[in-house]
Amino acid sequence: MKRSWKKMTGLFMAAALGVSLMGFTSEAKSTEGAADAAESLNETKEMVLGSVRDMIPGEGDAFYVNLSAQVWEPLVINNNHKLEPGLAESWETNDDCTEWTFHLVENASFTDGVKFDADACMKNIERYKAGPLTSTYTSLSIDKSFPNLKEMVKIDDYTVKFVFSEPITTLDALLGDYGSPMISPNCFDASTGEITSQVVGTGRYIIDEHVQDQYATFVRNEDYWGENPGKLKSYRVNCIPDSETRYSALVSGEIMGLMDNGAIMVDAADKLVKSDDRFVIEPTKSHMTHYLYVNGSKEYLGDVRLRQAISYAIDREQLNETLYAGLCYPAYGALSNQTPLYKDIQGEYNLEKAKELADEVLGGQRLQTTMILGQRVVDGYPVKAMAEYMQAALSEIGIDMTIEVLDNAVTTDRLKAGDYDFNITVTGLNSADPYATLFGWMGTEGGSNVSYHWNYSNPEVDELLSTVLNEKDEQKRAEIYGRLQEISAEELPVISILYYVNVNIHNKEVTGYVSDLFDGVSIPTLEWADESK
C-alpha cells in the first residue's frame, strides 16, 4: 500500500471537522422585529425571559402549556388567595351544596374561532373523566376538580349546572386555576383526555412557536374577550434548566428576567442586585412555605411539648435575615399565607421557654436525631444552611442532629418508612381549598400524617374537619379553618418556618414584573420600561 499517510491524516482530520459541521443548520431566529421608530417597543421588540422548565410540556401533558403563559384560562381564578371569576362570571349553589350553577362569560371565543359556551365547557369537563391526566405541573381529574359529580346539565348556552351525589362546599376553590382548564374542543379527544394538537385557548396570548426544551414564543391575542389584554405584542421564554447558566443568561442580557420555582436563590438575587444596578428585585408572596417535618412516632418527638420547644428554639426572623435577605415572612400556622381562609397567627422565638419545655420532656438527657434533606429542595432553596442553623439552635435545648442530604426518591422512601427524625421541605398549594392540606396534615387518617409517621391525633381536629366538609356557611367555614390553624400552631403536627417569596429578579429595562400565584410571571402586566429607547 503506497498511500501517503500524511495526506490521509490530513484528509481524516478535515473529514472529522467536516462531519462535525454537517447538520449545523442555522437555527438562529431573529428575536427582534424590524424597528419602526413610530411604534412602541412593546409592539416591536420581543421580550425574552428565562425559565427552569419548558413553558410548553406539550402533548402528553394534561395542560399542554403553563397557565402563566396566558394561553388557556380556567373557570375560576385564584388571585392571591381570593377566588375571582375567570371564564365563569358568577356561580351559586343550592342550600345543601349538591348543585352548583355556573354562569359563563358570553363574549369569549377560543382563538381558533370556536365559541366558548356551555357545550365547550362541558366537553372540557368530560375530558377530566379520563383522568387522572398527568402533567409536570399537577394532575387533572374529575375526582379532584368535581368530586362525586353525578351529572352536568346545560341550562342554557351560557349556564351549566353540576349535580353532586355528596354535598361539596368549596367547589369554586377546587376549580381555581389548574382545577378547570378550558381549551378548544378541537384540541383534544374527550374519551381519552389526550390533547391531540397544539392547544388553543381563550387567553391573552397564542402559542406562536415552540422548540421542545428550548424556547416558546407567544403572540398577543388581538381579539381577547376580557379586560387587560397583554401589553407586549410577543414574548419568548427560554428554557434554561441549569441554575448557573440561568444566572449568566440574566447577567449577559440574553434574558430580561427569571421565572418559575427556584429560578434563582434569594441570596444570589440579592447579591446581584447589590452589585449590579441593572437589576432589581420585586418580591411578591409565594404559595410555597418551608416546613419542618417531625417524626412523631419517634420517642420524645411525639410529645407536643418537645415540638413546641423546637418551634420556640428556631429564630425565624434571623433565618429570614440571614438566608433570605429579610424578604420572606416567619410562619407559625399550618397553611400557606396564600391560601383562601388563611389566618395570620404570630408566634415567638423564646429560647428560655424552649429549654424549659425540652427539659420537661428529655429530663436533661441529650436526644440524638437525624435531619434528612431531599436534593431537589436543597438545589432550589438554602435549606441546608437552614438545617445547619437548626442543628446549632436545637443543640441548645438538648437535641443533637446529624444532617443527611439524600436523593429525592431516597428521602421519600425514608419519610414513608419513618426512618428520620426531621425533614425540611418546601411545599405549595394543592388547590385553593384548604381542606386537603389540613386533613392531610392534621386528620388522624390524613395522608401525610400517616405516611410520614407524624402520629398526630386530636379528636377535636377530626370533628372540625368532618364538620367543615359539610358546612355551607362561608363565615362558619372560615371560623372552623381558623380554629384548625390555631390548633396547628399550638400542637404543631408540622412546624411552619417561613413563607417564601418569589424574588422576581429582572433587568430594569422591564417593568410590571410581578409573579402570579404559581411562581410564573404575570405576563399581562409585563412591558418594556422605557418606551423611548
Distance from C-alpha of 353 to C-alpha of 340, rounded to nearest angstrom: 32
Q: How far is the CB of 396 from another protein (least distance, A)?
A: 30
Nearer CB in complex with another protein: 26/107? 26
Nearer CB in complex with another protein: 138/202? 138
Q: How far is the CB of 445 from another protein (least distance, A)?
A: 10
Q: Does the footprint of another protein cover residue 1 (CB under 8 A)?
A: yes
**At residue 251, what are phi and psi to the nearest 5 degrees?**
-65, -40
3-state secondary structure of 245: helix
| Segment interacting with another protein, rule: CB under 8 A, options 56-64, 75-83, 298-306, 351-359 | 56-64
Query: Contacts for 343-346 with beta carbons within 8 Å, 24 or more apart?
Result: 343/481, 343/482, 343/485, 343/486, 345/485, 345/486, 345/489
CA terminus-to-terminus distance, the chain = 68
Exactly one of 11, 17, 35, 392 binds another protein (CB under 8 A); that residue is: 17
| Segment interacting with another protein, rule: CB under 8 A, options 81-89, 355-363, 410-418, 491-499 | 410-418
Q: Does the footprint of another protein cover residue 26 (CB under 8 A)?
A: yes
Distance from C-alpha of 122 to C-alpha of 154, rounded to nearest angstrom: 8
Exactly one of 107, 252, 275, 346 binds another protein (CB under 8 A); that residue is: 252
3-state secondary structure of 505: strand
| Segment interacting with another protein, rule: CB under 8 A, options 235-243, 325-333, 351-359, 477-485 | 235-243
Phi-psi group of 341: left, alpha or beta (phi > 0 → left; psi -120 to 50 → alpha; rest → beta) = left
Nearer CB in complex with another protein: 251/351? 251
Nearer CB in complex with another protein: 208/527? 208
Q: Does the footprint of another protein cover residue 25 (CB under 8 A)?
A: yes
Output the CA–CA distances (angstroms, integers) from residue 215 to 33, 117, 199, 513, in the order listed.
17, 32, 16, 20
Are the beta carbons of 47 and 205 closer than 8 angstroms?
no
Q: Does the footprint of another protein cover residue 455 (CB under 8 A)?
A: no
Q: Does the footprint of another protein cover residue 402 (CB under 8 A)?
A: no
CB-CB neighbours of 149 under 10 Å: 20
Q: Scanning the structure block, which residue is given the C-alpha cell 438575587?
A: 269
Q: What angle do CA 83, 217, 206 make, to 5 degrees?
A: 55
Pairing of strands 494-502, 284-294: antiparallel
Each residue 469-508 as x (binds another protein by CB under 8 A) or -, in order, gives ----------------------------------------
Number of residues that bind another protein (CB under 8 A): 74
CB-CB neighbours of 316 under 10 Å: 21
Exactly one of 42, 47, 61, 485 binds another protein (CB under 8 A); that residue is: 61
Q: Which of residues 148-207 bind another protein (CB under 8 A)?
A: none
Q: Does the footprint of another protein cover residue 60 (CB under 8 A)?
A: yes
Exactly one of 93, 284, 437, 504 binds another protein (CB under 8 A); that residue is: 437
Q: Does the footprint of another protein cover residue 21 (CB under 8 A)?
A: yes
Are the beta carbons of 218 and 205 closer than 8 angstroms?
yes
Nearer CB in complex with another protein: 12/365? 12
How would you class 425 by CB atoms within 10 Å of its CB: exposed for 0-12, middle for 13-18, buried for 19 or more?
buried
Nearer CB in complex with another protein: 271/366? 271
Residue among 39, 8, 45 at smallest CA distance from 527: 45
Pairing of strands 76-79, 149-156: unpaired
Each residue 288-307 as x (binds another protein by CB under 8 A) or -, in order, gives x-------------------
Biggest CA-to-CA distance, the chain = 98
| Segment interacting with another protein, rule: CB under 8 A, options 167-175, 225-233, 315-323, 371-379 | 371-379
List for the chain the helix, strand, coil content (%; round to 5).
35, 25, 45
Q: Does the footprint of another protein cover residue 533 (CB under 8 A)?
A: no
Q: Is the dihedral of CA 115, 119, 120, 121 positive or negative?
A: positive
Nearer CB in complex with another protein: 244/352? 244
Nearer CB in complex with another protein: 255/357? 255
Q: How far is the CB of 3 from another protein (least distance, A)?
A: 9
Q: What is the DSSP string of 348-407?
A: ---HHHHHHHHHHHHTTPPEEEEEEEEHHHHHHS-HHHHHHHHHHHHHTTTEEEEEEEE-
| Segment interacting with another protein, rule: CB under 8 A, options 16-24, 305-313, 456-464, 472-480 | 16-24
Q: What is the DSSP string of 484-502?
A: HHHHHHHH-SEEEEEEEEE
Q: Does the footprint of another protein cover residue 28 (CB under 8 A)?
A: yes
Q: How far is the CB of 334 from another protein (least distance, A)?
A: 12
Q: What is the DSSP letter of 185?
A: G
Q: How far is the CB of 12 from another protein (least distance, A)?
A: 7
Q: Which of residues 127-146 bind another protein (CB under 8 A)?
A: 131-132, 134-139, 141, 143-144
Q: How far is the CB of 158 from another protein (least distance, A)?
A: 31
Exactly one of 78, 169, 320, 448 binds another protein (CB under 8 A); that residue is: 448
Are the beta carbons of 498 and 329 closer than 8 angstroms?
yes
| Segment interacting with another protein, rule: CB under 8 A, options 202-210, 246-254, 349-357, 381-389 | 246-254
C-alpha grid cell, residue 527: 412591558
Exactly one of 51, 145, 425, 458 binds another protein (CB under 8 A); that residue is: 425
Q: How far is the CB of 252 from another protein (least distance, A)?
A: 5
Q: Which of residues 297-356 bind another protein (CB under 8 A)?
A: none
